[in-house]
Amino acid sequence: MILEELSMKEFEKKATKIKTVIIPVGSLEAHGPHLPLGTDTIEVYEIAKRVAQLVDVFVAPPLSYGLCRSTSKHPGTVVITGDTLRNLIKDIVKSLHSNNLKRFLIISGHASSLHLAALQEAGESLLEELPSDVNIAVVSAYALAQEAASEICETEDDSHAGEIETSLILHLKPHLVKGRGKEEYPHFPHPLLTRNKRKYWKNAVWGNPHKASTKKGELISQLLINKISELVREIEKFKE
């Protein structure tokens, strides 16, 4: 059930039985010269909508902005703070809970460690504030994709805008793929923090997009759909 497409009456009726909602979280962020800025959002939202065709679950409209540190100086990246992200997620979950929903699966297509930590912190805080019959899960869609692609992906250190993400967009929204970016891997001077991050990561590609294919994207997509469908069933059965 896609929330934005339901009328008030339709939602009210469905919410008497369906208590689980997927909240997709993405970003507006540079993904090389070949992928759209909304790659993270597109991937997670499209997969979530396909999950809703298999299991009874609501899918909320995606949150299309994230905490983007490493690409903050690349063209097109829009950054929100950890505080903003935490507050947005808490407000959204609380409002959905006031609509009689009780199980919340927060799935992030953006894999930044700081971004995921903010989501995790928001989830932990919500558990303390909401009734004990509420279940919350925070999941990295990219981590699931890496796991799913372990026998499909050919690039050893594939990550941002590389083989996996390019394959997924080739499958989900092929018209948005503009050729292929060059194979690239960032070299940040850890543990030093840097202001001009683009100096160390020129084109916002981490991996080899030339290894991508539509077929790989289709296979990874289906594995993701299966994994998230299982998570929906798991969160519905979970009791402490």
Specify the CATH number for the domain of residue 50: 3.40.50.10310
Structural domain of 109: 3-237
Q: Is the whole model's pTM more than 0.85, yes or no? A: yes
Average pLDDT over residues 9-18: 97
Confidence of residue 151 (pLDDT cuts 50, 70, 90): confident
* CA–CA separation, 111 and 116 (whole Å): 7
CB 62 within 8 A of CB 28: no
The first and second tokens of residue 221, run together, are 């997509």
Q: Report whether pLDDT(43) > 90.
A: yes
Which residue reads 């950054």 in tokens? 79
Confidence of residue 238 (pLDDT cuts 50, 70, 90): confident
Strand partners, 78: 28
Classify residue 5 by burial, with Cβ atoms within 10 Å: 0-12, 13-18, 19+: exposed
**Number of domains making up the chain:** 1
Lowest mean pLDDT among 4-18, 145-159, 166-180: 145-159
